[in-house]
Amino acid sequence: MEKNKSKTSSAKNIFSKIILLLISSVIFWLARPNIFFEDGLSLLAWINYLPVLFLIKKSRLFESLIYGSFYGVISYGLFGYWLQAFHPLGLIIVCLAYMLICALLFFLLKYADLICNKNGWLLQFFIICGYEYIKTLGFLGLAMELLPIPSGSLFILFKSAL
């Protein structure tokens, strides 16, 4: 009887982690220009990493590598759909590169959570800021990937607050 309960609870645990991963990937995609919204839903960019951080909290260190890989492929597969029009390998190369980059990101986020029990969120914040900066560099660097860029349409709202 105990084995059935543990199998059921582990299946529910894995299912909840996959749901968090999919929610985060879809939020990432919807926050930027996509096929449904020409300018994207820019307010979603501000909550983009919340499901990721919940996923990191629930995962083990090795699992974080796997979930990070899936996050990179799903998020950038949805985000970079337009690369297919230029060359078929473009989307594949981007997905593979971000599979590795996001696996490292999730590993570092989980490691920060493990070494800083109480204030791990602060170290995770700096890791995410570094990741956002690194995304703009090199061959894969796109300025529109930055977290604040989708909020460019909200400039009037921010300016009115001053």
Angle between helices 88-115 and 50-58 (to 10 degrees): 60
- With CA atoms as reference, report the closest residue to 39 among 115, 152, 136, 142: 152
The amino acid that residue 118 corresponds to is: K
What is the pTM (predicted TM-score) of this model? 0.83
Closest CA to 112 of 100, 101, 128: 128
- pLDDT score, position 140: 73
**Better pLDDT: 39 or 86:** 86
CA distances for 15 relative to 11, 20, 21, 69, angstroms: 6, 9, 10, 17
Q: CA-CA distance, 59 to 71, in Å (whole number)?
A: 14
**Band (68; pLDDT cuts 50, 70, 90):** very high
The domain in which residue 37 lies consists of 2-160
Residue 106: band (very low, low, confident or very high) from pLDDT cuts 50, 70, 90:
very high
Split into its structural domains, the chain has a count of 1
Least confident of 27-41, 102-116, 148-162: 148-162
Q: Which residues contact 9 (CB under 8 A, 6 or more apart)?
A: none
**DSSP-derived 3-state class of residue 60:** coil
For 114-139, what is each residue's pLDDT tens digit? Answer: 999 888 899 999 999 999 888 888 77
Which pLDDT value is given to residue 84? Answer: 84
Q: How far is CA 84 from the centre of its chain?
A: 21
Averaged pLDDT of the chain: 84
Among 108, 105, 80, residue whose Cα is nearest residue 94 = 80
Percent over 70 (pLDDT), the chain:
83
Q: What mean pLDDT is predicted for residues 12-30? A: 93
24 in Cβ contact with 51 (< 8 Å):
yes
Least confidently predicted of 92-101, 114-123, 137-146, 149-158: 149-158
Q: How far apart are CA 83 and CA 19, in angstroms?
A: 26
Predicted pLDDT at 65: 96
Token look-up 């996509």 returns: 34
